């Protein structure tokens, strides 16, 4: 009997502890999470699904800094026509794209070219912004450009020793040096010329 009274007392206490609803107050509805934003396709994913309207030209410009490498990317994918929405495309790191472009016996010789590309591409946006504002590269940017020059120079020495043409790489070095010193010619073309000379130098290697 005592146990029953205690239980009844507890039940009454718990019930009274709950707040009474306010007259005229709308019931509080549980919060509803907003639907997640649709994922934006990554144009530089190692393997990507092509979105509507994407082109080799646009992908190489965005992912490698230049339209010049679109022929490389097409060859890498064994692709000879326009991209179709929904198809799979391999977009490898530049080092892999470069290695696939040359015969195996040249890969060690062109490895410094990939390093030079990375050094240059890491400050390319800063260089172009400097052209737009008519300002010279800062010390950090200059150092990356000098690193690129050093790496291309190393590639030139070994490639030239094997009897291959290096004039395109030498022109890229001259352009990089000019940019580092605050020149470079046309702001719309200076960095693009570096990419073109690198591509032309690689494609000039004997096959």
Q: What is the pLDDT of residue 72?
A: 98
Q: Please report whether residue 20 resides in a domain.
A: no
Residues 87 and 103 occupy one common structural domain: no
Number of separate domains in the chain:
2
The closest of 112, 97, 189 to 147, measured between CA atoms, is: 112
Retrieve residue 177's tokens: 């040096």
H/E element, 164: none
Q: Is residue 106 part of a domain?
A: yes
Backbone phi, psi, residue 130, to 5°? -65, -40
Both 102 and 114 in one domain: the answer is: yes
pLDDT attached to residue 8? 45
Instruction: Please give the pLDDT value at position 1.
Output: 41
**Domain closes at, from 92, 126, 150:** 92
Residues 125 and 55 grouped into a single domain: no
Among residues 92, 127, 154, the one where a domain terminates is: 92
* 148 neighbors 178 (Cβ within 8 angstroms): no
Regarding whether 107 and 199 lie in a shared domain, the answer is yes
Neighbour count for residue 54 (Cβ, 10 Å): 20
CB atoms near residue 49 (< 10 Å): 13
Residue 37 inside a domain? The answer is no
Structural domain includes residue 147: yes
Specify if 27 maps to a domain.
no
Structure tokens of 142?
């200059």
CA distance 118 to 56: 21
Q: Answer yes or no: do 105 and 175 share one domain.
A: yes
Q: Which residues of the chain have pLDDT under 70?
A: 1-41, 185-188
Q: Considering the domain boundaries, does residue 81 fall inside one?
A: yes
> Which of 92, 125, 155 is the last residue in one of the domains?
92
197 with 131, same domain?
A: yes
Looking at the structure, tell me whether residues 87 and 120 fall in a common domain: no
> Is residue 141 included in any domain, yes or no?
yes
Element (H, E) at 90: strand 88-90
Containing domain of residue 192, as a range?
95-203
174 in the same domain as 112: yes
Residues 152 and 75 occupy one common structural domain: no
Global pTM value: 0.78
Domain match, 186 and 132 both: yes
The answer on 99 and 192 residing in a single domain is yes
Nearest CA among 137, 172, 127 for reference residue 152: 172
Q: What is the dihedral of CA 39, 125, 198, 61, to 10 degrees?
A: 30
Cα distance between residue 194 and residue 154, in whole Å: 17
Q: 170 exposed, middle or buried (CB, 10 Å; 0-12, 13-18, 19+)? A: middle
If asked whether residues 62 and 129 sit together in one domain, one would say no
Between CA 198 and CA 69 the distance in angstroms is 10
């Amino acid at each position: 009997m005592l146990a029953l009274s205690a239980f009844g007392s507890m039940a009454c206490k718990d019930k009274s502890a709950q707040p009474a609803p306010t007259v005229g107050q709308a019931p509080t509805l549980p919060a509803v999470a907003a639907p997640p934003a649709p994922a934006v396709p990554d144009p530089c994913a190692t393997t990507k699904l092509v979105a509507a309207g994407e082109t080799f030209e646009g992908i190489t410009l965005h992912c490698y800094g230049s339209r010049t490498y679109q022929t490389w990317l097409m060859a890498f994918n064994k692709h000879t026509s326009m991209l179709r929405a929904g198809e799979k495309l391999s977009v490898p790191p530049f080092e892999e794209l470069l290695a696939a472009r040359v015969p195996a016996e040249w890969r060690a010789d062109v490895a410094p070219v990939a390093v030079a590309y990375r050094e240059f591409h890491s400050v390319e946006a800063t260089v172009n912004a400097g052209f737009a504002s008519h300002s010279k590269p800062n010390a950090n940017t200059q150092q990356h450009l000098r690193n690129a020059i050093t790496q291309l120079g190393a590639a030139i020495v070994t490639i030239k020793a094997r009897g291959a043409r290096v004039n395109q790489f030498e022109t890229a070095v001259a352009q990089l040096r000019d940019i580092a010193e605050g020149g470079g010619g046309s702001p719309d073309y200076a960095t693009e010329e570096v990419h073109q000379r690198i591509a032309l130098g690689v494609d000039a290697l004997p096959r």
